[in-house]
Homo-oligomer: A and B are copies of this chain.
Amino acid sequence: MRGQMERLYPICRSITGDGVRQTLGIIAESVPLRCVGVASGTEAHDWTVNDEWNVRDAYIADTSGRRVVDFGEHTLHLVSYSVPVRARMTLDELRPHLHTLPDHPDWIPYRTTYYHRTWGFCLTQRRLDELDDGPYDVVVDSTLEPGELTYGELVIPGDSEEEVLLSAHLCHPSLANDNLSGIAVATELARTLAAMPRRRWTYRLLFAPGTIGSITWLARNPQAASKVRHGLVLTGLGGPGPLVYKRTRHADRAVDRAAVHVVTRHGGEVRDYSPYGYDERQYNSLGFDLAVGRLTRTPHGEYPEYHTSADDLDYVKDDELLAAYAAAVEILDVLENDAAYTNLSPYGEPQLGKRGLYPTMGGKSASDVVMAMLWTLAYSDGTTTLLEVADRAHLGFAAIRDAAERLEGAGLLARAEDPDPAGPGSAGTAPE
């Protein structure tokens, strides 16, 4: 994951353009991604695909030609979607186009102007304070012309046609937590899922620009969207905070129950849905109503480095990414394996001892392994799922899943028929 992030970091990404295509190309080295281009001007529900934006060069130079702000130095120096400019201006004339962070004088802010044709530069407050009155040569050598919006998707088939959507936005330039971390974890999850011999669900990985990208995908893929039973937006998975799971709008979908179980046991936080954030806004919108939660470590707006040059490769530590990846794997393990079972020996406790499942010497307290079996037997009524058992037992899902396997092996438990062909995990997750 680190290597991919280091390669992706210097690229100037935005919601369209060459940087997006380069990024998808690097992801495609790891997994067989399909890239899709959608022409500028295409209608997507209430939105229209923007013109494509590319930058050859951009700078502010003093009259001696010395560049005092240079896009070549850092992609954040240029406001994203800045229109072409070539002018000589005094500092006072420039000021309305300059963005700084006075409270963090060494950081460059991240600003965009996707839907309003203007231009601007972002720089450190310290750099701004050093500038004299000018004049300056201001050059934005960009193009903003009909082209395409590009996204990448990968479908990993499973036993069911119903899908788990894993979505990461890829429109941010040189910002590591937001969202190279999400791209790296999503890529690694794709490799893990593809390597599994068999999957219950079909998995769809989507790497797309934020907002307009997910809306465009939703608009063009109504059939695929209607098959999404569970989903996660993967974003901001580095940084020092605990894991944070943001619920779906309905709060109690299968993915919510799975993620709450896992994230809570990892010491993380669970938050209610709010209509601000990343592409969960689009997936959860009333018209689509997809059960897509969001897994984050350090959420947007809650760390000072957010949307600044300080969200760099040093901000994201390897162990943070690994922990986020591990939590995502555990959530998918619940989605893959949660099911209701039926206790085949329900009249009193079955005698575990005669099956070698109980200690022979009595009088001492029960082990965790025995307790997991007792909980599973006590609640496996053909309706209660293993995750529900785990939550009641205050045990991890894996412990209960192992107990169920052991009991199934001993002929004491049988998997219940799924009441819904989509599997019990999908109960209540279909769009309404």
Contacts and interface: CB of A to CB of B under 8 A. Distances in A.
Interface of A: 44-47, 79-80, 109-116, 118, 120, 211, 214-215, 218-219, 249, 272-276, 281-282, 284-288, 301, 307, 343, 345-351, 353-354, 360-366, 371, 374-375, 377-381, 392-393
Given A111-B362, A363-B111, A47 B351 contact: yes
Given A111-B363, A363-B307, A378 B284 contact: yes
Given A275-B374, A378-B286, A380-B286, A349 B116 contact: no
Contacts of A363: 109-112, 307
B348 A285 contact: yes
A284 B301 CA distance: 48
A285 B362 contact: no
Contacts of A350: 46
Given A287-B346, A287-B348, A343-B286, A375 B275 contact: yes
Contacts of A345: 45-46
A307 B363 CA distance: 7
Contacts of A364: 111, 307
Contacts of A44: 348
Contacts of A360: 113, 115-116, 118
B348 A378 contact: no
Nearest to A45: B347
A362 B364 CA distance: 63
A210 to B, nearest CB: 10
Given A362-B113, A362-B114, A348 B275 contact: no
B366 A111 contact: no
A167 to B, nearest CB: 13
A89 B228 CA distance: 70
Contacts of A249: 378-379
A349 B392 CA distance: 38
Contact of A381 (B272, B286, B378): B286
Given A219-B347, A348-B47, A112 B361 contact: yes
Contacts of A218: 347-348
Contact of A348 (B215, B346, B351, B377): B215
Contacts of A374: 275-276, 281
